[in-house]
Amino acid sequence: MNSTSTPTHCPYCALQCGMNLTPSPDGGVEVLERADFPVNRGALCGKGRTAPAVLSSSVRLTSPLVREGGSLVPATWAQALDRIADGLSSIRSAHGPDALGVFGGGGLTNEKAYTLGKFARIVLGTSQIDYNGRFCMSSAAAAGMKAFGLDRGLPFPLEDIPKTGCVILVGSNPAETMPPALRYFTELKENGGTLIVVDPRRTRTAEQADLHLAPRPGTDLALALGLLHLVVAEGRTDEEYIRERTTGWEDARAAAMAHWPEQVERITGVSVPELREAVRLFCTPENAMVLTARGPEQQSKGTDTVGAWINLCLATGRAGRPLSGYGCLTGQGNGQGGREHGQKADQLPGYRKLTDPAARRHVAEVWGVDPDSLPGPGRSAYELLDALGTDIRALLLMGSNPVVSAPRAAHVEERIKSLDFLAVCDVVLSETAALADVVLPVTQWAEETGTTTNLEGRVLLRRRAITPPQGVRSDLEVMHELAARLGVEKGFPTDPEEVFEELRRASAGGPADYSGITYRRLAEENGVFWPCPAVPDGAEDRAGAAPASGGDGTPAVAPGDGEDAAPAVAPDDGEDAGLDVLPDDPAAQDGTDAEVHPGTPRLFLDRFATEDGRARFAPVSHRAVAEEPDAEYPVLLTTGRVVAQYQSGAQTRRVDELNAAAPGPFVELHPRLAERLGAAEGDPVAVVSRRGRAVAPARITASIRPDTVFMPFHWPGEGRANTLTNPALDPTSRMPEFKACAVRVEAVKA
C-alpha cells in the first residue's frame, strides 16, 4: 500500500468493500485495491471504482441554497441554518412537535443515524421519524426477530458460504447488486456445493445456478411452503433438532401440509419436478443455507414469506449450526447499523424497543433527559411520507431521495410539495432536494470519518482521506448548529469518535451491543462483529450489574429481560481472541487485565436469542399479492436494480462511466408479450398501473416470464418505475409491496 493511502470502505452497498484512497494529481483521490479486507479481497465493482467522481465540485453541492421567489439561490450557512430553525420552531409552536417529521437514510454512518434519532426525540420532541431502510430489509428483520429473537442480516460471515453444501438464494441478484459477493457463490460451486436461485427473471446470478426456479412475482411464500411440504412428505425433517432447539413446529407443519405440490405449481408456475429437485439438492448435503433479499421481502406479506423460508431451515436443522443457517443480504450501505441506533420509528440505540420502559430509562440516562420526555413510536416510512402536508407540516430529510425511491412516487412527490417547510441535507441536488426550502451541502464518505455496519454485522471504520470543499459541512455539524438554535446547547458533538463513544454507552446491554468496540480497535482490525459487549463474562459493569451469560463467555438473554436484554449468541470461533486491552476500553479503565470481547462472527450456535433459547416456527399460509392481475391490468410488474446504478441514482447518475453503461430506464418483457403489443427492441412502451404511467424503451428477452415485466428504479421522470408501484404495506414490517403490482403494457405511437 502507498504510504499516502488511506484505508477505507466503499460508500455504496452493504458489502462495504475495502479500498485504499490515494491522492491524485488533480487534487482528488484515486481508488486502489485493498486486498487485506476479507469481504471483497480487493475486488470492486464499477460503482466502487468510480466513487471518487462524485467528490468533484462539478457534480456536487458546495453552498447552502434557500428558496427565494420560487428558486433556490446560494446563501450563507448562518442564513440557511437560521431559516431551518425558524421554520421548524414556528411550525412546532403552531401545531405541536409531531407536526415535524424527520426522514433518514440507510447510507448514513452509525454516528449520524444515532444523532439523527436523538435530535428528533430530544431537540424536536417528535415521534415522526423513520428512514428509507424501511424499504430495504424490514420484513427480514421482523421475521428474524420473531424466529430467532434477534435480527442481524447474516448471522455468519460471508466466508462461510463457499464451505456449505447448498445455498438457496431467494430474490437476490448479487451479480448486479453487489458483484464482489458473487465470488462466494462461484467458490461454493467450485467446492462441490450447489446453488439454487429463486427469481422470476433469469438474471446474471440465475445463470450461475445449478437450479433456477422462476415463480410468479409475489408467490415466494407458496413456494417455500411447498418445499417444506415435500420435506415433510419425504421424511427429510430433523426431528431431534426440532425437539431440542425449536418451538411451534406442529402449527407450522400443519400450515405447510395444506400446500401440496400440485397446488403450489398452479400458484407459482414452478413445476413439481423442480420443487422435488430443489428439496433433494437442499437436503442431501450435511450443511445448507437460505439467503433472502428484496424479492421475497418487498411484499405486503414479506414477513410471513421470510418466515416460511426460515421454517424450511428450522425443519431441516439448518439454523444455528456451523456452515448452515438463514441470512438476509442487506442492500444499503449502512442499512443494518442505520436501524440499530435510532432512526427507525420504533427503536432506540442498541436495537432497543422504544416501548420498553427499561430501554427508555437506559437511553434517557445516557442522554441526560427524563424517560417520560421521550416520545413513543411514530409512523413507518411510507406512512410518514403519506402524511406530509396534513398532520406533518415540516420535514427534515437526510440522505434519501423519496421522489424517486418511494412507492407511489408521484403521490409522494405531491405530498412533499404540500409541506409548509422542507429542509434537505445531501451531497447532490437530488430530485427531492430540488423541492426544498433549504438545501445544505454535506460531506460524504471520503471527507469524513465514521462507522458503518455491513451485511455480516461487521462494524467498520471509514476514514477521512481528503478535506471537503470550502462551504461543505458534516451532518453532525448541522445537527449541532440546529440543536443550539433550537435551545439545546449540549449533547450534539461534531467529532464522530465522541459520538461513537456515546453510542457505545447507549447500546450497552442491548441486542446490538457495540460497547466493546472502539475506533482504535476498528483501525487495527478488519471490523468487529456485534454483539461485542465491553464487560467480559463475570466482570461487573459500571452500573454494578453482571451481564447475563450463556455460560460460554458470551451474552445471553436473561429470563424476563425481554427485548432490552443482550442477545444469546454462540461462542465465537476464536478468531481475534486474546486481544490486548485497549486503553480506551471500559474494561480497561479500572486498571484490570481483562481481555476485551472479540466480537461474535457467528450467532446462535449454542442457543437462540429468545427467552427459552429456542427458535420459533412461523405458522404461515400463502395469500395473494395485494393487487392481482385482471382484465384491465393483466401483467405483473416487478422492479429492481442494474449493476451500473445504485438506489435512486442520485449519485451514480452523475458519473459518466456509469451512465455510459446504464443510460436510462427500460422495460424488460418477454417476446410473446412484445409480439402482442407489436413492439420491437428499443421501441417506447408504456407501463400503466392504477397509480400512474411510465414510459421507457422495450428490452425484449426470453429471460423473463411472459406474464411479468421488469423495470429498474434508478431514474426520475417519465421512466420512473416507482410511479407505478403499490404502497400496500406488510402488517408487521410496514414494508411496501415494491415487487408485485398489476399493470398493463401499451405500445407508444410515434
> Quick one: which H or E segment has residue 117?
helix 110-118
β partners of residue 374: none
**CA-to-CA distance for 340 and 351, rounded, in angstroms?**
5
Q: Taken in order 275, 295, 738, 673, is the CA torsion positive or negative? A: negative
Burial-class residue 543 by CB neighbours within 10 Å (0-12, 13-18, 19+). exposed
Four-point Cα dihedral 264, 268, 274, 279, nearest 10: -60
* Cell numbers describing residue 132: 428509507
> CA of 216: how far to CAs of 10, 266, 336, 642, in Å?
34, 10, 29, 20
* Cell numbers describing residue 39: 469481504
Buried b (16+ CB within 10 A) or exposed e, 236-258: bbbeebbeebbebbeebbebbee
Q: What is the mean pLDDT of residues 361-389?
A: 98
pLDDT classification of 596: cutoffs 50, 70, 90: confident
Q: Among 214, 279, 226, 233, which residue's Cα sits nearest to residue 256?
A: 226
**CA 592 to chain centroid:** 39
Burial-class residue 390 by CB neighbours within 10 Å (0-12, 13-18, 19+). exposed
- Determine which of 190-204, 381-395, 503-517, 530-544 has the lowest per-residue pLDDT on average: 530-544
Which residues have a Cβ under 8 Å from the Cβ of 680 and sit 6 or more positions away? 674, 698, 700
Q: What is the pLDDT of residues 636-675, one digit of tens each?
A: 999 999 999 999 999 999 999 999 999 999 999 999 999 9
> CA of 672: how far to CAs of 676, 686, 689, in Å?
6, 17, 20
**CA-to-CA distance for 61 and 428, rounded, in angstroms?**
5
**738: helix, strand or coil:** coil
Angle at 332 between CA 331 and CA 334, to 5 degrees: 125
Asked if 647 and 714 count as a contact pair (C-beta separation under 8 A), the reply is yes
β partners of residue 68: 71
Q: What is the mean pLDDT of residues 213-240?
A: 98
Class of domain 6-55: mainly beta
* Cell numbers describing residue 68: 427565494
**CA-to-CA distance for 504 and 459, rounded, in angstroms?**
12
Asked if 213 and 197 count as a contact pair (C-beta separation under 8 A), the reply is yes
**CA 576 to chain centroid:** 27
- Amino acid letter for position 582: L
pLDDT in the model for residue 211: 98
Burial-class residue 660 by CB neighbours within 10 Å (0-12, 13-18, 19+). exposed
- Amino acid letter for position 19: M
pLDDT in the model for residue 156: 98
* Cell numbers describing residue 303: 414477513
**CA-to-CA distance for 730 and 737, rounded, in angstroms?**
8
- Amino acid letter for position 169: L
pLDDT in the model for residue 2: 54
**CA-to-CA distance for 238 and 236, rounded, in angstroms?**
7
pLDDT in the model for residue 571: 34
**CA-to-CA distance for 558 and 611, rounded, in angstroms?**
7
264 φ/ψ angles, rounded to the nearest 5 degrees: -65, -35
pLDDT in the model for residue 740: 97
Q: What is the mean pLDDT of residues 125-130?
A: 98
Query: What does the DSSP assignment read for 133-166?
Result: GGGTSHHHHHHHHHHHS---S-SS-GGGGGGSSE
Q: What is the pLDDT of residues 518-560, one digit of tens each?
A: 999 999 999 999 999 997 554 433 322 223 333 333 333 332 3
For residue 377, is the peptide bond before it cis, meaning its omega torsion is within 30 degrees of 0?
no
Q: Among 444, 441, 451, 395, which residue's Cα sits nearest to residue 418?
A: 395
Residue 611 has pLDDT above 50, yes or no: yes
Q: What is the mean pLDDT of residues 459-477?
A: 96
pLDDT in the model for residue 339: 85
Task: Look at phi and psi of residue 399 and say left if phi exceeds 0, alpha if psi is from -120 to 50, else beta.
Answer: left
* Cell numbers describing residue 314: 428450522
What average pLDDT does the chain have? 91
697 φ/ψ angles, rounded to the nearest 5 degrees: -65, 145
Query: What does the DSSP assignment read for 76-97?
Result: -HHHHHHHHHHHHHHHHHHH-G
DSSP H helical ranges for 149-248: 174-177, 182-190, 220-233, 239-245
**CA-to-CA distance for 320 and 155, rounded, in angstroms?**
9
> CA of 94: how far to CAs of 100, 416, 420, 667, in Å?
11, 20, 12, 47
pLDDT in the model for residue 587: 37
pLDDT in the model for residue 281: 98
Q: What is the pLDDT of residues 475-499, one digit of tens each?
A: 999 999 999 999 999 999 999 999 9
Q: Among 586, 114, 576, 630, which residue's Cα sits nearest to residue 334?
A: 114
CATH code that applies to domain 138-328:
3.40.228.10
Q: What is the mean pLDDT of residues 280-302?
A: 97
Domain boundaries, the chain: 6-55, 65-132+354-498, 138-328, 635-747
Q: Which residue has the higher pLDDT, 398 or 572?
A: 398
Helices (runs of H) and strands (runs of E) counted in the chain: 23, 30
pLDDT in the model for residue 15: 95
Q: Which one-letter DSSP state was computed for residue 704?
A: B
**670: helix, strand or coil:** coil
Q: Which residue has the higher pLDDT, 548 or 59?
A: 59
pLDDT classification of 575: cutoffs 50, 70, 90: very low
CATH of the structural domain 65-132+354-498, one choice from 1.10.3720.10, 3.40.50.740, 3.40.50.12280, 3.40.30.10: 3.40.50.740
- Sheet strands (E) in 428-501: 438-441, 450-453, 458-462
pLDDT in the model for residue 331: 82
Q: Which one-letter DSSP state was computed for residue 555?
A: B
- Determine which of 26-30, 246-250, 571-575 has the lowest per-residue pLDDT on average: 571-575
Helix axes 475-485, 77-95, angle to 10 degrees: 50
> CA of 282: how far to CAs of 216, 250, 278, 307, in Å?
21, 22, 6, 17
Residue 588 has pLDDT above 70, yes or no: no
Neighbours of 483 (CB within 10 A): 21
Q: What is the pLDDT of residues 312-348, one digit of tens each?
A: 999 999 999 999 999 999 888 898 888 899 999 999 9
Q: What is the pLDDT of residues 390-428, one digit of tens each?
A: 999 999 999 999 999 999 999 999 999 999 999 999 999
> CA of 78: how far to CAs of 70, 297, 485, in Å?
21, 43, 11
**CA-to-CA distance for 426 and 650, rounded, in angstroms?**
10
**CA-to-CA distance for 341 and 626, rounded, in angstroms?**
32
CATH code that applies to domain 635-747:
2.40.40.20
pLDDT in the model for residue 513: 97
Asked if 23 and 52 count as a contact pair (C-beta separation under 8 A), the reply is no
**CA-to-CA distance for 462 and 32, rounded, in angstroms?**
15
pLDDT classification of 676: cutoffs 50, 70, 90: very high
Grid look-up 415521534 returns 127
**CA-to-CA distance for 666 and 639, rounded, in angstroms?**
11
